[in-house]
């Protein structure tokens, strides 16, 4: 009579242990199954490819959020090679004051005014593609940035017939970016500029440049940035050099500080891409900074 009792207790033991074990793993399996379904049915968009909407001088594919106003104050001091008398350029400064606003998640508008040649500028930044994984896979982000600039500096020769259109400059940029890892992002910026008036008849009105830039995070809140614009030899103004800039982004709550060294004095697209004259090798380097403060105006839902 002992045997059935032993069998019974063994059976009972197996049942209980199987029971407990089965439940634990099935619960985890079910969760894993749900997570997998979720992974393939939703699209995961890459965010924060760059810390802010500017790399150094030029745009990144980042937009400000909908209903967000970003006030940007940018300074470029004089050339570092002016020596101690000018306190290495700090005695001279040009400044751009800018207001960027997010109309929608995909459209940002901005206006600015630079002291350099008393220039007003306005731009749109439109997102076309967003890097993503999951249901919809996209290897890159793509944005289009058209800008228009109006130079209001008095005409060089007031006696001749001056047209208003001569003061206008147009720039079209495509921004193609990819966030390769948490800390590393790269961007290509093919750029076409049009100037209604150039100095010499032999000079082109249409200027083409290819920009490349990137950032490398060194801590969660600090990143190193660099950007370079290569001008195609037959589509550049004589006497200009390619713009090369390097800088650091420091983020503190609602502010992003950008400190940088660049051989470009101007801060709007047409000036730094096609009118840079400084050479790094000669010490024509401008120290500068951008300060950005963000205000949320509209309520995002």
Partner 1 sequence: MKQLTLALAMILITTHSVQAQRYYTKNGSISFLSKTAMEDIKADNNQVMSVLNTQTGELRFSLLIKSFHFQKALMEEHFNENYMESSKFPKASFAGTITDASRIDFNKDGIYKVNVDGDLTMHGVTKKVSSIGTVTINAGKISADSEFPIKIADYNISVPKLVKDNIAETINIKVHCNFDQKM
Interface residues toward partner 1, by CB under 8 A: 4-5, 7-8, 11-12, 14-15, 18-19, 22-24, 26-28, 30-31, 34-35, 37-38, 42, 44, 47-48, 64-66, 68, 102, 182, 220-221, 251-254, 294, 296, 299-301
Nearer to partner 1, 23 or 277 (CB): 23
Nearer to partner 1, 24 or 203 (CB): 24
Nearer to partner 1, 44 or 205 (CB): 44
Nearer to partner 1, 48 or 111 (CB): 48
Which residues does residue 212 pair with via DSSP β-bridges, in sequence order?
188, 228
How many C-beta neighbours within 10 Å does residue 144 have? 13
Give least dist CB 24 to partner 1, A: 8
Give least dist CB 70 to partner 1, A: 9
Q: Which residue has the tokens 């961007």?
A: 187
Question: H helices then E strands: how many in the chain?
Answer: 2, 14
Give least dist CB 267 to partner 1, A: 23
Helix (H) or strand (E) holding 95: strand 93-102
Give least dist CB 102 to partner 1, A: 8
Nearer to partner 1, 4 or 158 (CB): 4
Give least dist CB 222 to partner 1, A: 11
**Burial of 259: CB neighbours in 10 Å, binned 0-12, 13-18, 19+:** middle
Q: How far apart are CA 299 and CA 234, in angstroms?
A: 49
Long-range contacts of 41-44 (CB under 8 A, 24+ apart): 41/134, 41/135, 42/134, 42/135, 43/132, 43/133, 43/134, 43/135, 43/136, 44/132, 44/133, 44/134
Nearer to partner 1, 163 or 295 (CB): 295
Q: How far apart are CA 280 and CA 155, in angstroms?
A: 30
Give least dist CB 104 to partner 1, A: 12
């Amino acid at each position: 009579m002992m045997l059935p009792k032993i069998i019974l207790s063994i059976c009972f033991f197996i049942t209980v242990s199987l029971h407990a074990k089965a439940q634990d793993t099935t619960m985890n399996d079910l969760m894993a199954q749900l997570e997998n379904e979720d992974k393939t049915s939703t699209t995961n968009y890459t965010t924060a490819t760059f810390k802010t909407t500017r790399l150094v001088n030029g745009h990144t594919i980042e937009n400000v959020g909908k209903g967000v106003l970003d006030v940007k104050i940018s300074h470029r001091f004089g050339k570092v090679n002016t020596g101690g008398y000018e306190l290495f350029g700090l005695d001279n400064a040009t400044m751009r004051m800018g207001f960027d606003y997010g109309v929608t998640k995909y459209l940002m508008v901005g206006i600015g005014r630079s002291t350099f040649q008393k220039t007003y500028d306005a731009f749109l930044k439109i997102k076309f593609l967003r890097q993503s994984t999951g249901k919809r896979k996209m290897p890159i982000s793509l944005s289009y940035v058209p800008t228009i600039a109006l130079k209001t500096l008095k005409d060089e020769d007031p006696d001749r017939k001056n047209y208003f259109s001569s003061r206008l400059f147009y720039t079209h940029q495509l921004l193609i970016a990819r966030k390769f890892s948490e800390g590393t992002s790269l961007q290509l910026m093919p750029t076409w500029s049009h100037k209604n008036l150039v100095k010499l008849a032999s000079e082109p009105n249409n200027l083409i440049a290819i920009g490349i830039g990137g950032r490398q995070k060194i801590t969660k809140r600090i990143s190193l940035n660099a950007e370079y614009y290569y001008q195609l030899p037959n589509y550049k103004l004589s006497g200009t050099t390619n713009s090369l800039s390097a800088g650091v982004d420091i983020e503190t709550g609602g502010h992003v500080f950008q400190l940088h060294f660049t051989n470009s004095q101007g801060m709007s697209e047409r000036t730094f891409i096609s009118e840079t004259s400084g050479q790094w090798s000669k010490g024509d380097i401008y120290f500068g900074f951008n300060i950005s403060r963000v205000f949320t105006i509209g309520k995002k839902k």
